[in-house]
Structure 1
């Protein structure tokens, strides 16, 4: 049984040996660690999703501005405005 990747970070660097032992022998600790790993994975997922959503929103905002200008140009070319 391997230790979740989320526990192999700088914050827990000084207690890796204890983590390995407790993870193997203590069900409560293992459950807590597994929950921690899942939450860290979810944080990364939503962080990435937020960045993707932001990029998508910016693309749509840029496109809407371009279309506004195109609509105004089109109207101006075809009317007396």
Structure 2
């Protein structure tokens, strides 16, 4: 059941220009990353590629956490935090 009429979105020329500029910027960044990864050569490139894949996974997780508003704060692993504040 609709309680109100659906809203109407209007696409303006400024919006399309902004979209195109952001799209070009992202493509340029992607090309720079690809050139940097392929510039290493040989066995070193595979090691660098593996390291960048794991860092991109971590950054992807960080991006997701940031997007949903989750900010994990690890607790320090000290004796009082592990066993409480018991004193003998």
The two structures share one fold, judged by TM-score above 0.5: no
Of Structure 1 and Structure 2, which has the larger fraction of its residues in helix?
1
State the structure with bigger RCO (CA 8 A, min sep 6), 1 or 2: 1
Q: What TM-score results when the alignment is normalised by the length of structure 1? A: 0.38
The normalised TM-score by structure 2 is: 0.35
